[in-house]
Chain A
């Protein structure tokens, strides 16, 4: 206790000195806190069952012709039965982040350490939100150092440690530990070259879980930017957690496999007068080789296409349409894995399923990836946004959601229609530190959603969520 107090005191003195003396080193503290309350008629959509970073879906078969579905990393049955839970609930959520930066005046070197109190339900005793609090609930979000490369100009840096990948919002945007080289040049060129280490669970630090990434962005005109990226992933010694007989949802034997996969992507963003838009196209190739005998190897052949096109009617009103196609796998018995797999993302395709919400910022969502299991996703959305005043922002969207391939479990007829979703967001900016957010969403469940519940008689029910919260940042 005494030691902690001494360390804390020393830090404060250091900070004070840096603020008041001729120091060329600066410290910054920043933080953000969410306090959210909400209600839904289906608590299953809050469970975060399909997290991209921890899952790897693919359908495969053994030499006897039996079909399996790998759901490595998925959160139990929630991965395929999230529409099953018709339990209404109201809830309160707390989340907080702190970020500490120490950097030289000239920005040539800095270190960043970020802490997070991951979202805890009010009353969740395990996370210290029960009676009397006292939870041990801090996590490390960032821990990296960055230096300007000696002999090169200030716009070329090395970054090492747990950092944001930022490659593409549909492929990889979350944090990972690695070493990156970031650069910018005149004429609007920027690039990143990096090596990241994926989930590594062996003390020996094998070389079987590596990602190599390259990203290049070029500004073509004042308002048009084109980007290119590539990622090669060498993920080895993974084990399947297979569902045998997809229709029956029974667990099959584990098998060991190596997944060598690569991604090539092209992105664009532009604006011309009142028109604006962006696109992403990503192709996934490579193969999955089983070390365990008796299984057929697979070739990756998947793709994702995203197109947004909009028109700004006035300085405070715009309307835009989005079409998203993420390929899925329709046949576990062939030698293709045609489903697209993100590495680790937080995509925003509506409130109920994905992360375009206050709830999702508080880690309450179905999936953070642009697909459901190995079936892909199709989204057609029309969104309107209106800025009533600097303080009041409204946004509303209607979207039609499908999986790219049919969901075909249980006795119900196979179908790919998840449903039609209506989303509404309102943000009140009290000042630059404090905002009040409100949101509501309603999903009219389609026939395909019946496959995401074991309620074979009545099928899936419609789902609504409503939430309101305050964010405080400094």
Chain B
């Protein structure tokens, strides 16, 4: 008979054996970031040589490898209006699929994948690994996590699924397929009939985002159907509705017809919960960097998940109560000192390599906002009130040396709250409306001192909040003041539309807890009427940030345990052109 100790160890060993050992997970051992980057999409132009050979204007210097697969797009058929006869444009279509057979420093040679149609011309656009069939063969039985990770981070591939195979079966890769083969903790990637790379053993931590995806011309401009990123609960690609959802009858306020857009992409993920994320050019070249705030500090990183981010950790008295990103590296960091009953906010400047505190102890709740909707971002500050948190004064501020001085008062309605506030001339009629969230978590618009619109339902707010003790007694209870995400004001027709995080209002809000899920809200105005609609994409977590960079609208969605601060943030970009079309 076994003694109790041995018996316990035996049962534990048996129990543990029932579960896969996470340490043996292939994904944990591989440089996923490198893999994703090497298979990321890239745009190139086709060059047709006089002898008929086909080249692309990208080469070794751009990370092109022999075997890379490209989808070539042609201009397609001309579409005419059947009534007026006017030309409406061209329906772009796939001209063929090609693989790289030779690479040079600045160009590469491609050849048509056998059996695929070809009608290449100079100037055709090419996208690497766009809609290419991907197969994942797991001969070790431990690669499913890796499959999930790659599928989530390479949404442009046409995934055929996950297949378990016998580790002794020879692998055969067809020339038009991207094949991932896992055997004995080793990953082999085949593409275009070539082995692109073999990975095994090396450990690399951190998520990745292909750098070109942020700074390159937006690939979403090309019409194509993309697989849904893991976070988007969207319909299968085959059943996606037309890009512009027709609204029956007259467009009237109150109709909540969803805006349909097919053009989005998964930009990347971060292995932490991010409260705020924006993009900011930090130098004169205009090269952007991501700026994000988490429990661990304020980060600036040119490429998400790659390299070591620059970090500023505020270790002073009080708690960080939100940031706001300005221009030329300026960042306003709100700091609330509960004990002393004051705001001690900071102005920081990121110079490309380090943070510098420009001004401190500012007794305001700060935000960089375009108050006049003239394209210039101003620093504004709302005064602090010990009881209600938001004071009654709002001022445009100017930085002079290390001093911040009031320039002029900003006229705001009573009850104004600076978090999430925006100003926009929605209809292009020189009437700037001021939007803000009131104490009841409703979005209000004011113009000329009069309320012009109010959302019907309260919103769920944000997972970021500042805990404020009621000053009525010692040992008082606290309440949660929501730090609303800044809205994105986007030029649209003659005016603007406003994109904002529209998180769900749940019962938990009454105890100051976070929203669980969110949507992307769009507020616009036509013929003097306001419309509030949402983009048809149900996110698996609250939306924490919305911002515009070039021709895309970015959303940051968080998931995970918000109580212990462990979780992830996923960034998804929507084509602005497509959204505007949907609005029209």
Contacts and interface: CB of A to CB of B under 8 A. Distances in A.
Interface of A: 15-16, 19-22, 24-32, 34, 95, 97-99, 103-107, 114, 141-142, 153-155, 163-164, 166, 173-175, 184, 186, 188, 222-223, 271, 314-316, 318, 346, 355, 360-361, 385, 387-390, 431-433, 473-474
B506 A163 contact: no
A19 B457 CA distance: 8
Interface string B320-347: 1000000000000000000000000000
A431 B564 contact: yes
Nearest to B473: A164
Interface string B279-320: 000000000000000010000000000000000011111011
B439 A30 contact: no
Interface stretch (B116-124, B242-250, B507-515, B542-550): B507-515
A232 B397 CA distance: 42
B172 to A, nearest CB: 53
A105 B440 contact: yes
Contacts of B414: 153-155
Contacts of A385: 317
B175 interface: no
Contact of B415 (A19, A107, A114): A107
B458 interface: yes
Q: Which of B316, B363, B465, B506 counts the most A-chain CB atoms under 10 A from its CB? A: B316
10 contacts: A15-B507, A24-B440, A29-B510, A30-B478, A97-B475, A97-B476, A142-B472, A271-B361, A316-B315, A474-B480
Interface string B67-110: 00000000000000000000000000000000000000000000
Q: Which of B442, B470, B474 counts the most A-chain CB atoms under 10 A from its CB? A: B474
B414 to A, nearest CB: 4
Contacts of B505: 19-20
B567 interface: no
B456 interface: yes
B477 A361 contact: no
Given A19-B458, A315-B317, A388-B315, A433 B563 contact: yes
Given A24-B440, A26-B439, A223-B363, A188 B316 contact: no
A26 B440 contact: yes
B415 A154 contact: yes
A267 to B, nearest CB: 13
Q: Which of A99, A164, A473 counts the most B-chain CB atoms under 10 A from its CB? A: A473
A105 B442 contact: yes
Interface in B354-390: 360-361, 363, 383, 385, 388
B126 to A, nearest CB: 49
Given A30-B511, A105-B442, A106-B415, A97 B474 contact: no
Contacts of B383: 188
B457 A389 contact: no
Contacts of A164: 471-473
A114 B470 CA distance: 12
Contact of A26 (B314, B458, B480): B458
Contact of A30 (B295, B393, B441, B477): B477
Nearest to B385: A184
B565 interface: yes
DSSP majority for the B interface? loop
Given A141-B473, A154-B415, A387 B439 contact: no
Contacts of A99: 470, 477
Interface of B: 295, 313-317, 319-320, 360-361, 363, 383, 385, 388, 392-393, 414-415, 438-442, 456-458, 465, 467, 470-480, 505-507, 509-513, 563-565
A107 B438 CA distance: 9
Contacts of A28: 479, 510-512
Contacts of A153: 414
A431 B565 contact: yes
Given A97-B475, A361-B474, 16 more contacts: A24-B440, A28-B512, A32-B478, A99-B477, A103-B439, A105-B442, A173-B473, A173-B474, A315-B317, A387-B317, A390-B320, A431-B563, A431-B564, A432-B319, A432-B467, A473-B477
Contacts of A155: 392, 414
Contacts of B438: 105-107
B316 A22 contact: no
Contacts of B363: 222-223
Contacts of B565: 431
Contacts of B319: 390, 432
Nearest to B404: A222
Contacts of B563: 431, 433
Contacts of A315: 314-317, 360
Q: Which 3 A-B pairs have the closest CB atoms?
A: A105-B440, A315-B316, A164-B472
Contact of B440 (A29, A104, A166, A355): A104
Nearest to A32: B477
A190 to B, nearest CB: 8
A316 B317 contact: yes
Contacts of A19: 458, 505-507, 509-510
Contacts of A26: 439-441, 458, 510
A30 B473 contact: no
Nearest to A272: B361
A31 B510 CA distance: 11
A405 B340 CA distance: 32
Contacts of B507: 15-16, 19
A34 to B, nearest CB: 8
B462 to A, nearest CB: 13
Contacts of A104: 440
A453 B564 CA distance: 49
Q: Which of B393, B457, B476, B477 counts the most A-chain CB atoms under 10 A from its CB? A: B477
Contact of A186 (B361, B392, B439, B474): B392
Contacts of A175: 472-473
B439 A361 contact: no
A107 B480 CA distance: 15
B392 A114 contact: no
A390 B473 contact: no
A97 B565 CA distance: 26
Contacts of A166: 471-472
Contacts of A34: 475
A32 B473 CA distance: 13
A184 B392 contact: yes
B308 to A, nearest CB: 20
A21 B442 CA distance: 12
A432 B472 contact: no
B34 to A, nearest CB: 33
Contacts of A184: 385, 392
Nearest to B393: A186
B473 A174 contact: yes
Given A24-B440, A388-B315, A390-B314, A355 B474 contact: yes
A67 B55 CA distance: 111
A361 B472 contact: no
A163 B564 CA distance: 35
A16 B458 CA distance: 12
A105 B442 CA distance: 8
A160 B219 CA distance: 62
Nearest to A276: B340
A318 B360 CA distance: 15
A105 B458 CA distance: 9
B510 A15 contact: yes
Nearest to A432: B467
Nearest to A148: B414
Nearest to A30: B477
Contact of A387 (B316, B361, B415, B511): B316
B402 to A, nearest CB: 10
B168 to A, nearest CB: 51
B439 A389 contact: no
A107 B505 CA distance: 19
